[in-house]
Amino acid sequence: MKRIVALTLVLIGLMMPATFAQQLYTHDKVEYSFELPSTTWRSITEPDAAHEHPEFVYGDRLDGYLTIRKEVVEAGTTPADFAQRDADLKLRFLPGFVQGKQDPFNGRLDGVTMSYEFVRTGKPMIGRTYYLQADPRTIYALRFTGLRDKLNRIRNQTDLIARTFKLK
């Protein structure tokens, strides 16, 4: 019985570091923060004079790529309205674009998600954008893209990033 208890405690101890791998991302030049769920996520571009928005990758750009944009909209524009406008004006021009469905999303900021498929360099890609409403005139767009099979595997991580996204 003592061996079973000892083995259980060892296994729990080995799993604990993975639980605490989350890192809070914040920067002086952005108005928000969020949690990166694993150390595989890393920043490749920080906000500076040349780059207004941060960019992140999950290991490799094809495995998972994240950009964050602050969008100023007319008062009364909902995240769903903005998502449709974004698809009509920008995304539909991607090669092989196929629009998916919109779903409501709840986190520290609420909004909608929109998934879509496209082709890049002959490879099937997917995109998943979280449109989060900060106030009546501000919507943040968290745009994730990656190879179809790889980005789908980390969907729980993209959801966590969006759920923990908050204004400072």
Q: Domain locations in the chain?
A: 22-167
pLDDT at residue number 17? 45
- Cα 54 to Cα 69: distance, rounded to the nearest angstrom: 9
Residue 34 predicted with pLDDT over 90: yes
pTM: 0.84
Residue 15 predicted with pLDDT over 90: no
Which residue did the predictor score with more confidence, 52 or 130?
Answer: 130
Under CATH, what is the fold of the domain 22-167?
A: Protein Transport Mog1p; Chain A (3.40.1000)
Q: What is the pLDDT of residues 60-101, one digit of tens each?
A: 999 999 999 999 999 999 999 999 999 999 999 999 999 999
Which residue did the predictor score with more confidence, 13 or 100?
Answer: 100
Question: Across residues 129-135, what is the average pLDDT?
Answer: 97
pLDDT at residue number 6? 56
pLDDT at residue number 18? 45
